[in-house]
């Protein structure tokens, strides 16, 4: 059995670093645009987000894209703020621990790729080409 004394779970900054790395794994034609999307990490989604999505258990939401997909943007749009991918640390950690068969980094890559799909307007087939885990 491993000695877990003195070890801590990754904090928000470490999850954000994993997410930034995930963006570098996207196909080259998407990397520059992906770098313009902000990454934010919170412990859990706020109650208003959970209510809007009709999610009762805050552990059920690991991430969400907050912005206007590039396929829907217009030159006349006045952005209220940057496009953001929100990652929720505690649900991510919970999913990682319950799976037990994937690295935390791979899980974060998967979540970021899925949220980037919303930003870029990718189809399920597009996602499967980029993220083999999607299949």
What are the tens digits of pLDDT across the range 32-52?
Answer: 888 889 999 999 999 999 999
Name which of 9-13, 77-81, 96-100, 131-135 the model is least confident about: 131-135
Question: At 133, is the pLDDT very low, low, confident or very high (cuts 50, 70, 90)?
Answer: low
Q: Which residue has the tokens 């070890």?
A: 7
| Segment 122-128 long-range contacts (CB within 8 Å, at least 24 positions apart) | none
d(CA 85, CA 79): 15
Query: How would CATH label the architecture of 12-69+81-134?
Result: 2-Layer Sandwich (3.30)
pLDDT per residue over 71-120, tens digit each? 777 666 666 778 999 999 999 999 999 988 888 999 999 999 889 888 88
SS3 35: coil
Runs of H (alpha helix) within the chain? 12-24, 28-34, 47-52, 89-99, 104-120, 124-130
Domain boundaries, the chain: 12-69+81-134
80 backbone dihedrals φ, ψ, rounded to 5°: -80, -15
Q: How far apart (Å, rounded) are the C-alpha atoms in residues 78 and 92?
A: 32
Two structure tokens written together for 91:
């649900």
Per-residue pLDDT, 98: 92
**Cβ-based neighbours of 7, under 8 Å, separated by 6 or more:** none
Give the predicted TM-score (pTM) of the model. Answer: 0.85
CB 133 within 8 A of CB 95: no
Contact 108, 62 (CB under 8 A): no
**84-88 vs 63-66, strand pairing mode:** antiparallel
């Amino acid at each position: 059995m491993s000695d877990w004394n003195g070890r801590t779970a990754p904090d928000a900054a470490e999850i954000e670093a994993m997410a930034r790395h995930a963006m570098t794994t996207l196909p080259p034609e998407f990397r520059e645009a992906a770098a313009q999307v902000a990454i934010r990490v919170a412990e859990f989604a706020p109650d208003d987000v959970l209510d809007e999505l009709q999610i009762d258990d805050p552990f059920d939401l690991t991430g969400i894209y907050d912005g206007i997909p590039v396929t829907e943007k217009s030159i006349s749009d006045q952005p209220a703020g940057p496009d953001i991918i929100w990652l929720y640390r505690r649900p991510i950690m919970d999913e990682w621990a319950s799976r037990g068969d994937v690295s935390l980094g791979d899980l974060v890559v998967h979540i970021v790729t899925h949220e980037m799909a919303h930003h870029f307007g990718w189809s399920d087939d597009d996602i499967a080409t980029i993220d083999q885990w999607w299949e």
